[in-house]
């Protein structure tokens, strides 16, 4: 989608509202400045996610993908099929030595992000690093500080920041359309073992890095990272405390990371954000339910629902069933339930963008990164939003491991006001 068309189609109330809700979109305002600019990018770790990003980057006329670095030859071969002209390296340091490369995209396993990102900044490269930013809170802070010290562009793989559904609905949330938001229920459920096929046993830990403690923090860093950011974006504040539990309850196959996690993030005013992820049942799928006192938002589904929705007339066959039920229960003087279940299923809601979602924000996120590298301008608050997304998933994981509630550490706070709060537009 063309960016201008995208911004127009959102129909949010002007640039001022966008600046408050999603200030990083201002990067698209500098599109004209960079119209004649091009940049040269390298990718470190063109695996599954890397090659998905490459689909967009390789078609972007403002950027040339000039090099790939990976320790696994099949990943290099697959990337070369997409961009045959690129150079390839088996050691990322060699890619970083190429002075003609302006920026790098890092899409390696979590535990490698810190060293690669720090080396990339030291080599003077702008950095897009996939989420989560790093394996520990300290490493995440160090990377963020390095970005500030060097003044180089820093993006993270939080594509919901560029997803039209989210941008539009956050504008509505921040305008109070759904009343006070008192809770967010985020969850991501799948039914699968999360394993990838391994061509030979010595490659197990390289390919299934997600399943091992040395390289991953499992569901919290891989999935929660996206959804916690949505919660803080909606609530306009950061939680002060988190408690949680986690276990391996189903996939007892030698993995080391939990397949079942539940956390509660508490805010200073008592509001709550819950996070749950189970990978042995997919019925409820993925959602961030934003619960306001006059309405509910389900951005993944692309819908919102007002509380005072009147039920639609029951279809004929349902009426027939109800009459049938009446006859049975009506004959029994003790029949009838003592409560009315409050169920959501009767409210059809409305689409946020007038139809089912067709895209996520990844293409616009990569475009924004390219524009930022071309103009050498960091869009406001994008690094900070990624920073807190990572820190919240890491502190949640730590609360699970320690088995006790943990405050958000003072030492990990950075200067930042979440979107939608007073003063955040500056
Ligand atoms: N934003 C999103 O929605 C999203 C989705 C999926 C994955 N991710 C993130 O992308 C990253 C990669 O995930 P993936 O699923 O593509 O993993 P993957 O295993 O498919 O790809 C990782 C690649 O990095 C390579 N690699 C490993 N160590 C390396 C090193 N030291 N130097 C160079 N290359 C190295 C591997 O050989 C592989 O080709 C993770 O951080 C993950 O969380 C983000």
Q: With the CA atoms of 229, 423, 141 and 98 taken in that order, what torsion angle do they form, in degrees rounded to the nearest 10?
A: 90
Q: Is the peptide bond before 132 cis (omega within 30 degrees of 0)?
A: yes
Predicted pLDDT of residue 176:
94
d(CA 424, CA 20): 7
Tokens, residue 28: 């698209």
Q: Which of 74, 91, 130, 221 to mutate to test the pocket of ligand 1 (most atoms within 8 A of CB)?
A: 130
Q: What is the mean pLDDT of residues 202-220?
A: 98
Per-residue confidence (pLDDT) for residue 426, from 0 to 100? 37
| Rg value, the chain, Cα | 23
The domains spanning 3-161+362-381 and 172-310+343-355+385-412 adopt the same CATH topology: no
**Distance from C-alpha of 413 to C-alpha of 285, rounded to nearest angstrom:** 32
How many whole angstroms separate alpha carbon 217 and alpha carbon 198? 21
Q: Which residues contact 327 (CB under 8 A, 6 or more apart)?
A: none
Spatial contact of 230 and 286, defined as CB atoms under 8 Å apart: no
- Listed in sequence order, the residues at least 6 apart from 203 whose beta carbon sits closer than 8 Å to its beta carbon are 72
Residues 357-407: tens digit of each pLDDT: 677 899 999 999 999 999 999 999 999 999 999 999 999 999 999 999 999
Domain layout of the chain by residue ranges:
3-161+362-381, 172-310+343-355+385-412
Per-residue pLDDT tens for 260-319? 999 999 999 999 999 999 999 999 999 999 999 999 999 999 999 999 876 555 556 556
Q: Using alpha carbons, select from 301, 300, 312, 11 the residue that is nearest to residue 172.
A: 11
User: What is the C-alpha to C-alpha distance for residues 102 and 105, in angstroms, rounded to an integer?
Assistant: 11
Pocket of ligand 1 (CB under 6 A): 44-45, 47-50, 69-72, 75, 92, 107-110, 112, 130-131, 157, 159, 206, 209, 222
Q: How far away, in angstroms, is 44 Cα from ligand 1 center? A: 9
> To test the ligand 1 pocket, which listed residue (54, 70, 80, 109) has its Cβ within 8 A of the most ligand atoms?
109
Cα of 72 vs centre of ligand 1, distance in Å, is 11
Going from the Cα of 100 to the center of ligand 1, the distance in angstroms, rounded, reads 24
Q: What does the pLDDT read at residue 423?
A: 47
Kindly give the pairing relationship between strand 63-69 and strand 87-89.
Answer: parallel
pTM over 0.75: yes
Q: Which CATH class is domain 3-161+362-381?
A: alpha beta
CB 75 within 8 A of CB 47: yes
The DSSP code sequence of 156-182 is ES-GGGG-HHHHHHHHHHHTTTT--EE
Residues 6+ away with beta carbon under 8 Å from 326? none
289 backbone dihedrals φ, ψ, rounded to 5°: -85, 115
Return the axis-axis angle of helices 382-402 and 137-150, rounded to nearest 10°. Answer: 160
* H/E segment holding residue 68: strand 63-69
d(CA 27, CA 371): 7
Q: Is the pLDDT of residue 421 over 60?
A: no
**Distance in Å, CA 9 to ligand 1 centroid:** 33
CATH superfamily of 172-310+343-355+385-412: Dihydrodipicolinate Reductase; domain 2 (3.30.360.10)
The predicted structure's pLDDT at residue 9: 61
CA end-to-end span of the chain = 29
CA distance 103 to 258: 35
Pocket test for ligand 1, best of 43, 44, 49, 56 (most atoms within 8 A of CB): 49
Query: Using one digit for the tens of pLDDT, what is the confidence trace for 51-99?
Result: 999 999 999 999 999 999 999 999 999 999 999 999 999 999 999 999 9
């Amino acid at each position: 989608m063309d960016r201008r068309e995208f911004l127009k189609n959102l129909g949010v109330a002007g640039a001022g509202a966008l600046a408050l809700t999603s200030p990083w979109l201002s990067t698209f305002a500098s599109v004209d400045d960079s119209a004649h600019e091009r940049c040269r990018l390298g990718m470190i770790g063109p695996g599954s996610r890397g090659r998905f990003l490459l689909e967009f980057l390789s078609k972007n006329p403002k950027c040339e993908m000039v090099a790939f670095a990976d320790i696994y030859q099949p990943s290099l071969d697959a990337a070369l099929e997409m961009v045959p002209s690129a150079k390839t390296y088996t050691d990322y340091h060699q890619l970083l030595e190429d002075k003609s490369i302006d920026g790098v995209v890092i899409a390696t396993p979590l535990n490698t992000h810190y060293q690669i990102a720090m080396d990339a900044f030291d080599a003077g490269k702008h950095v897009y690093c996939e989420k989560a930013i790093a394996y520990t809170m300290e490493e995440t802070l160090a990377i963020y500080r390095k970005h500030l010290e060097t003044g180089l562009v820093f993006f993270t793989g939080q594509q919901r920041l560029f997803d039209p559904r989210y941008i539009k609905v956050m504008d509505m949330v921040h305008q109070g359309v759904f009343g006070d938001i008192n809770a967010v229920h985020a969850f991501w459920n799948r039914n699968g073992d999360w394993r990838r096929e391994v061509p030979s046993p010595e490659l197990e830990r390289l390919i299934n890095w997600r399943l091992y403690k040395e390289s991953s923090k499992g569901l919290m860093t891989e999935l929660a990272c996206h959804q916690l950011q949505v919660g803080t974006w909606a609530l306009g504040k950061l939680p002060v405390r988190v408690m949680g539990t986690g276990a391996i309850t189903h996939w007892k196959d030698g993995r080391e990371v939990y397949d079942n996690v539940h956390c509660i993030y508490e805010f200073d005013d008592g509001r709550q954000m819950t996070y749950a992820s189970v990978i042995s049942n997919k019925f409820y799928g993925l959602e961030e339910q934003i619960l306001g006192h006059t309405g509910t938002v389900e951005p993944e589904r692309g819908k919102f629902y007002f509380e005072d929705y009147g039920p639609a007339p029951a279809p004929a066959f349902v009426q027939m069933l109800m009459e049938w039920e009446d006859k049975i229960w009506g004959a029994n003087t003790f029949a009838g339930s003592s409560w009315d279940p409050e169920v959501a299923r009767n409210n059809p809601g409305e689409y946020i963008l007038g139809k089912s979602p067709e895209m996520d924000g990844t293409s616009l996120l990569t475009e924004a990164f390219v524009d930022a590298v071309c103009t050498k301008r960091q869009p406001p608050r994008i690094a900070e939003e990624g920073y807190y997304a990572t820190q919240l998933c890491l502190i949640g994981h730590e609360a699970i491991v320690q088995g006790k509630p943990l405050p958000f550490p003072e030492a990990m706070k950075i200067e930042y006001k979440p979107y939608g709060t007073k003063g955040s537009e500056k």
